[in-house]
C-alpha cells in the first residue's frame, strides 16, 4: 500500500532551527520508514533509528506533535485504517448537505467560510489582484501562506531548501497577479490554520477559492468532509452530479490551491489506498495521522 522510495533511512540531522520544523523533519523520516515497513510492525527502536532520534525522543515527539504514540500513529497509516475512514463515505457528504453545511457556515472542523472569485478573475490569471505571502513553520513543514484582501487564497508546503520552488509553483496558478512578501501580515493566518485553539465557530477562517467553476465545486465538496473521515473520488463526482468525472475530479483536487484547509488529503482511492498528493504522499500521510490524533483513533 503506502510505499515510498527511501534508500537511506538515516539522513543528515535536520537543519531548520524552529521547533515545529525540526519536529516535522523527524516525523517525516519516521513516516517514510513506517510506510515501507508497517506490515512488519517495526519496533519503536527501529522507527527512532530511522528518524535519527532516541526511542524516548520519538515517543515524546509523536505525543507532542499529534497526540498519538508511535504505535498508534503506525496504526493510522495502515490500509485497514484508511478503509475505515472511507466507510459510508457517500453518506458523509449526504449528511453534510442534510445538516445545512453546504452554505457559508461551519463547513468542517477548521470553521471555514468561503467565497469563489469570478470566472473572469481566474481566467485572466489574476490581473489586478495583489497576493501577500509569507513563509511560516507548520506541523507539516514550511507553509507558504498567500492572502488576498478577501481572505486566505493559497496554502502550500515545502521541505527544507524547496521553499522557493513551492512558491514558484503557486505563482504559476495566477501568473498575472502582483505578489508582495509580507510575513508579518500573513502570520496571523498561519496561526489561525495550524493552532487548533484558534478553531472557533464564532471567528471562522475566510477562504477565497480561485479556479474554474468545476474546480470550485470540487473544492467546496472537499470542505464538507469532516476531520477523521475520507471520501473517494467517485463519491465527489456523484455529489457534483457528474458521476463519470472521477478523473477530472482527481485533477481538480491536485490543483487545490489551499492545501490542508480545503482538505484534499481526505480524498482516497476507492480501495482505501493513498493516491498522489501535490505536496507529497509523505505529507498526506502526516496530515491523516495528525488528524487521527486530534479526533482520537477510531
- Tally of CA atoms within 13 A in the half-sphere of 35 that contains its CB: 25
Verify whether residue 238 is a known catalytic residue: no
**Residues 6 or more apart from 185 whose CB is under 8 A from it?**
132, 134, 147
Catalytic residue among 264, 281, 288, 292: 264
C-alpha cell at 132: 501577500
Helices (H), 172-279: 183-194, 213-222, 233-239, 246-254
CB atoms within 10 A of CB 226: 17
**Residues 6 or more apart from 23 whose CB is under 8 A from it?**
61, 64, 65, 139
DSSP for 134-170 reads EEE--BTBEEEEEEETTEEEEEEEE-TT-HHHHHHHH
Q: Rounded to a whole number, what is the distance in angstroms from the first to the last CA of the chain? A: 20
How far apart (Å, rounded) are the C-alpha atoms in residues 283 and 297?
Answer: 19
Best CA proximity match to 229, nearest among 195, 259, 263, 186: 263
Q: Cite the active site residues.
A: 264
Amino acid at each position: 500500500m503506502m510505499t515510498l522510495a527511501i534508500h537511506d533511512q538515516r539522513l543528515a540531522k535536520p537543519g531548520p532551527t524552529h521547533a515545529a520544523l525540526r519536529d516535522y523533519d523527524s516525523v517525516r523520516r519516521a513516516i517514510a520508514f513506517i510506510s515501507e515497513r508497517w506490515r512488519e510492525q517495526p519496533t519503536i527502536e527501529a522507527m527512532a533509528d530511522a528518524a535519527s532520534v532516541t526511542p524516548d525522543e520519538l515517543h515524546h515527539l509523536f505525543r507532542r506533535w499529534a497526540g498519538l504514540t508511535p504505535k498508534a500513529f503506525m496504526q493510522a497509516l495502515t490500509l485497514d485504517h484508511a478503509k475505515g475512514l472511507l466507510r459510508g463515505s457517500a453518506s458523509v457528504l449526504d449528511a453534510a448537505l442534510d445538516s445545512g453545511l453546504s452554505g457559508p457556515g461551519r463547513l468542517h472542523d477548521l470553521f471555514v467560510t468561503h467565497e469563489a472569485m469570478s470566472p473572469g478573475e481566474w481566467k485572466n490569471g489574476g490581473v489586478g489582484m495583489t497576493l501577500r505571502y509569507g513563509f511560516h513553520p507548520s506541523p507539516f513543514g514550511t507553509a507558504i501562506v498567500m492572502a488576498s484582501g478577501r481572505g486566505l487564497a493559497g496554502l502550500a508546503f515545502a521541505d527544507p531548501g524547496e521553499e522557493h520552488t513551492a512558491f514558484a509553483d503557486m505563482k504559476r496558478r495566477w501568473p498575472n497577479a502582483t505578489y508582495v512578501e509580507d510575513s508579518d501580515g500573513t502570520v496571523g493566518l498561519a496561526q489561525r490554520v495550524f493552532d487548533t485553539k484558534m478553531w472557533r465557530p464564532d471567528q471562522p477562517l475566510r477562504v477565497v477559492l480561485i479556479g474554474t467553476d468545476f474546480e470550485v465545486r470540487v473544492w467546496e465538496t472537499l470542505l464538507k468532509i469532516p476531520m477523521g473521515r475520507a471520501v473517494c473520488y467517485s463519491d465527489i463526482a456523484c455529489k457534483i452530479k457528474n458521476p463519470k468525472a472521477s478523473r477530472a475530479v482527481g485533477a481538480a483536487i491536485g490543483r487545490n490551491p489551499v492545501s490542508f484547509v480545503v482538505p484534499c488529503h481526505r480524498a482516497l482511492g476507492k480501495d482505501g489506498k493513498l493516491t498522489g498528493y501535490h505536496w507529497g504522499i509523505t505529507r498526506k500521510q502526516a496530515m491523516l495521522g495528525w488528524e487521527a490524533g486530534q479526533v482520537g483513533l477510531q
